[in-house]
Amino acid sequence: MSLLKNQITFGRYMRRGRRLAVDPKLFIQDLQFKKVPVRVYQPTAPSHGRRRGIIFFHGGGWVFGSLDTYEKVCRYIARESESVVVSVEYRLAPEHKYPAAYEDCLNATLHFMKNIEHYGVDPARIIVSGDSAGGNLAAAVSQTLASRSDLPKLRAQILIYPGLQALDFNLPSYQQNRAVPLLLRERAAFFALQYLNGDASHVEEVLEGSHIPADVRLKYRKWVSADNIPEEFKTRGVKTLAPTDCIAEVYESVKRFCEPNLCPLLAEDATVHQQPESFILTCEYDVLRDDGLLYKKRLEDNGVPVTWYHIEDGFHGIISLHDYCGFSFPAGKRGLDSIVNFIKGLE
């Protein structure tokens, strides 16, 4: 356990990012929303009206990431889209298990929505967004807010290669990209278990699928199935795997994987139908590609407008590497610009 703790500590140190020089185009301040640390980015240029407000939840497998890690990404989005961006520093696993991160993101969002007049934001143009684990959190927050009649409706959600389910780690993208950085198949299961339980003692069972009973798997098969993945994404090394027998003890420890606040892909149609206009970015060389594709289908099947941007030569985490240590990937820049263009089109 101490070795794992040291590995996580070292990983956080390596990903910590650093504070950047002052940007004359942005007014940046660190605040707390309901005791949750946030960083607010406000364009300094005069505005003809109230701006869009974007709440951003960073990625990092619920274990890594910080305000500083995503400083360049958030600055870019705020500056290029001329929007107010609120980056949220939620509590991390394994020290803080589910639902701590979800609750922090929800509470920060609620505070912002109730106090938008302080930031010059249009209440009709509030957007939740995030990448990877942050995309998971954005989808969960969006689903929760759908039933709130006392608040303005979200204008949109932006989900950047989100992880949205933990029932099946053998979908085509998991098979095809199992050893592709930056997110290996085994690490995806490891992170999900760290977030859920604060340990990953059942990672092998989760990877092989013995953590879910047959009746539960059958219940969600209409939403979590390779059958719902377009054929063009199955051309690279995909096998049909026989289901494994469930181990009751393992299921008992992970059964909260069936909660939509943890796995938003499993939300009922009545909730998905209420989701705002959506932007989903996927990458071809990413184990989480199919989570995004499956949620895209669910949203579209429920009449929700979806803008989908697929990076054919992209890999997981490519957006977070924007201008990282002096270099960028052209595909990542294209993806980031597609996000900005989507935001600018939201009136």
Catalytic residue ranges? 132
Distances (CA, A) of 73 to 41, 313, 315: 11, 20, 17
What whole-number distance in Å separates Cα of residue 122 and Cα of residue 78?
15
Give which of 171, 126, 159, 195 is closest to 319, Cα–Cα. Answer: 159
Cα separations in angstroms, 247 against 185, 205, 220, 253, 255? 21, 8, 18, 10, 12
Burial class (CB in 10 A: 0-12, 13-18, 19+), 188: buried
The closest of 228, 57, 206 to 136, measured between CA atoms, is: 57
Q: How many CB atoms lie within 10 A of CB 331?
A: 17
For residue 334, which amino acid is it?
R
- Cβ atoms within 10 Å of 283's Cβ, excluding its own: 29
Instruction: Specify the 3-state DSSP secondary structure of 96.
Output: coil
The CA dihedral of 78, 276, 145, 198, to the nearest 10 degrees, is: -70
* CA angle at 69 for the pair 177 and 18, rounded to the nearest 5°: 135
**274 neighbors 264 (Cβ within 8 angstroms):** no
Cβ–Cβ < 8 Å for 176, 236 = yes
Strands 277-285 and 306-315: parallel
